Each structure stands twice: as structure tokens, then as C-alpha cells.
Amino acid sequence: MPILSIENVCKKFGNFDALKDVSLQVEKGEAVAIIGSSGSGKSTLLRCINNLETVTSGKIIIDQDVLVDTVNGTACYPSEKEIRRICTKTGMVFQHFNLFPHLSCLENITVAPIKILKRDPEIVKKEAMELLEIVGLASKATQYPAQLSGGQKQRIAIARALAMHPEIMLFDEPTSALDPETTNEVITTIQKLVEQKITMLIVTHDMRFAKNSASRVIFMDDGAIIEENTPENLFNHPKNERLRAFLQSVER
């Protein structure tokens, strides 16, 4: 059983087709990189998995729970409560970090496990300190996001997502807002998670990361998955003309 199954997902914004019949299966422990030009539907796909957007039609199954299915052409979602439960199985990391500015780094990490999962605050705090060690920011526990660099903020955002013990981590261009030096520290952190076999879908412009760390790479264009392969095959033997043009434009 795949941990994530996306079947024939379509998403319209008005008359505009942002996702066109997208199907994708992800196995536990895979790191799937999604590449493609701006506007190709990469963020929309992640947002549908995390229910930040609803699909127009199609089916999404996360860890054997049906987030949405389509009956007679209409997308059917379960109850709000059930949606919330299913969505705790995915953790999202955004381009612009989206940390809570009024909470310390430690509180940013502990707030959801305590408030949403109703877990023991002392245990959650202990785990959060361990996560801060993993992302190399234990010394920043009591500081506030405004006191951190971009790369540090992003590492706190990663720790915050991990604190919910998600089955799948979703990264939406986690390094696009960062300068080259801090990009590396975030990439190194994500690489650690790849080594720990944490399942992830990562939208990235970092072709080096996609080449070196992903188990599979997906190329999206104009709302559709156009090509999908191992990094080796996708980068060295691209079949689709649009993928070839994209690779030339990013490698230039």
C-alpha cells in the first residue's frame, strides 16, 4: 500500500485548470522531488494534499484514509473533524516559513502537538528540544522568529512540522526565499530527513538536491505530470521536449 495515493486529481480556479488529471503514488520512505516552471501547479498539488485547497474532482488517500473521493463527478469530503484528523498526517513547510511571530522558537514547535493533539506538554517540550538539536538550533529555543536568519527560521519550521509526527512531509520551495549560504544549511537538514527515510514530497528549484537526494523526480508542466523518473534518468535522458527546455533554462 502506498502511503499517499493521488488519482486523477483536477483543480479548477474558475474556468482555469490548475491541475489536470494528476495521478501519483508515493511509497513510505520515498523522497519525491517535484520540479517545473512557475505556474505549473506544483504548490496547488501540495495544497490539495494538505487540504489548503479542495480538489474539483479526483481521489486522495493518505495512509489508507480517504481525504476526498469523487462520486458522480462531485468531489466528496468527510466531516470537518475527519478532515482535520487526516491532515495531521501531513506536515507542510512553506517558502516563507510562516512561523508564529509572537511565539518563541520552542513554543512554535510545541503549540500544535499540545493544542491539537492534546499531548502532555512536558513530553512535547522534551521532544521539541530533541528536534531543535536535530536542526542545530537548541541554543535558539527561547528566542523569537524575528531574531533569526531566514535559514534558521526555515529549520524551526521544519522542526515544527516534524513535531506533529506526520506520515508525509510536504515542502514547498523551502529554500527559494534564502540566500545561497543559508540554502545549504536547510538542504543539509532536509538531507538528514531523507537519510532517516522520512517520506517527503518536495517542490524545489534546487536541481542539485533533486539530482543527489531524491529517490524520484516529477516534472510538472501546465497543471499535469509530464515526466516521472529516477533522478539519473530524468536529468540525463529527458524524454519530453518541454522537460528538455526546462532543464536547459535552469542549468544555464
Ligand X SMILES: Nc1ncnc2c1ncn2[C@@H]1O[C@H](COP(=O)(O)OP(=O)(O)O)[C@@H](O)[C@H]1O
Nearer to Mg ion, 112 or 161 (CB): 161
Instruction: Write the DSSP assignment of 201-251 as a string of letters.
Output: EEE-S-HHHHHHH-SEEEEEETTEEEEEE-HHHHHHS--SHHHHHHHHHHH
In whole angstroms, the minimum distance from the beta carbon of 52 to Mg ion comes to 12
Nearer to Mg ion, 42 or 140 (CB): 42
Rounded Cα–Cα distance for residues 235 and 195 (Å): 22
Question: 174 touches which of Mg ion, ligand X, none (CB within 5 to 8 A by kind)?
Answer: none
In whole angstroms, the minimum distance from the beta carbon of 40 to ligand X comes to 4
Question: 155 touches which of ligand X, Mg ion, none (CB within 5 to 8 A by kind)?
Answer: none
Are 225 and 6 in contact, with CB atoms under 8 Å apart?
Answer: no
Size of the site for Mg ion (CB under 5 A): 1
Nearer to ligand X, 39 or 121 (CB): 39
Q: Which of 9, 33, 43, 67 binds Mg ion (CB under 5 A)?
A: 43
Nearer to Mg ion, 63 or 206 (CB): 206
Backbone angles phi, psi at 195, to 5 degrees: -65, -35
**Cα angle at 85 between 84 and 91, to 5 degrees?**
80
Nearer to ligand X, 132 or 243 (CB): 243
With CB under 5 A as the contact rule, which of the stretches 23-31, 41-49, 113-121, 154-162 interacts with Mg ion? 41-49
Residue of minimal CB distance from Mg ion? 43
Taking CB under 5 A as the rule, does residue 175 contact Mg ion? no
In whole angstroms, the minimum distance from the beta carbon of 139 to ligand X comes to 34
Among 116, 50, 119, 123, residue whose Cα is nearest residue 89: 50
Are 45 and 224 in contact, with CB atoms under 8 Å apart?
Answer: no
Rounded Cα–Cα distance for residues 251 and 148 (Å): 31
Characterise 8 by phi-psi region: left (phi > 0), alpha (psi -120 to 50), beta (else): left
Question: 204 touches which of ligand X, Mg ion, none (CB within 5 to 8 A by kind)?
Answer: none
Q: Could you list the residues that contact ligand X (CB under 6 A)? A: 13, 18, 36, 38-44
Rounded Cα–Cα distance for residues 131 and 164 (Å): 11
Are 123 and 110 in contact, with CB atoms under 8 Å apart?
Answer: no
Question: 72 touches which of ligand X, Mg ion, none (CB within 5 to 8 A by kind)?
Answer: none
In whole angstroms, the minimum distance from the beta carbon of 207 to Mg ion comes to 16
With CB under 5 A as the contact rule, which of the stretches 35-43, 83-91, 145-153, 218-226 interacts with Mg ion? 35-43
- Grid cell 543527489 — which residue? 212
Nearer to ligand X, 18 or 198 (CB): 18
Residues that bind Mg ion (CB under 5 A): 43
